[in-house]
Structure 1
Amino acid sequence: MCRSIKTLRAPVTPEVTEADIRAAALQYVRKVSGFRAPAAHNRAVFDEAVDAVTEATARLLDGLVVRGTP
């Protein structure tokens, strides 16, 4: 899909910041929408999508259990 989105789960990335999660969400929304930067009339829905993907990604990372890690 989007090869520039890096793996954010531990232990691959030991410290994941909110900025890391948001950057990945932005990359995903850009790829799916086909827009690097949306037009003014699409800005609100684009930003809402980034927010939703950011929240879903944070929940995913918080809930993952990786075997062999403390």
Structure 2
Amino acid sequence: MCRSIKTLRPPFEEVVTEEDFHAAALQYVRKVSGFRKPAPHNAEAFDRAVEIIAAATAELLGTLEVRGR
């Protein structure tokens, strides 16, 4: 679905920043909502979704165990 979102876990990426989490979350929310930039009345919901997804991404990558490295 979101082919332009890059893999953020090792060995694909050694260092992942908050900006990386935010960029991936933003791409995801844009894709599923169908909006590149939401209308003002949807901006709060859009931005909150990006924050929640970025946090979930950080949590996921923080708990994954990559074997064979």
**TM-score of the alignment, normalized to the shorter chain, above 0.5:** yes
C-alpha distance in 1, partners of 2:68/2:16? 19
Unpaired segments ≥5 residues, structure 1: none
Which 4+ runs in 1 deviate beyond 4 A? none
Q: 1:43 — aligned with what? A: 43
Unpaired segments ≥5 residues, structure 2: none
Q: 1:3 — aligned with what? A: 3
C-alpha distance in 2, partners of 1:22/1:43? 16
Q: What do the CA deviations read for 1:14-39 (whole angstroms, capped 9, x no partner)? A: 11011011000000000000000000
C-alpha distance in 2, partners of 1:45/1:21? 18
Give TM-score, length-normalised by structure 1.
0.96
Q: SS of 1:11's equivalent?
A: coil
| Identical aligned residues as a percent | 65
Aligned residue pairs, count: 69
What is the alpha-carbon root mean square deviation over aligned residues? Answer: 0.5
- Tell me the amino acid that sits aligned with residue 32 of structure 1: V
1:22 counterpart = 2:48: no
Q: What do the CA deviations read for 1:13-64 (whole angstroms, capped 9, x no partner)? A: 1110110110000000000000000000000000000000000000000000
C-alpha distance in 2, partners of 1:34/1:27? 10
Give TM-score, length-normalised by structure 2.
0.97
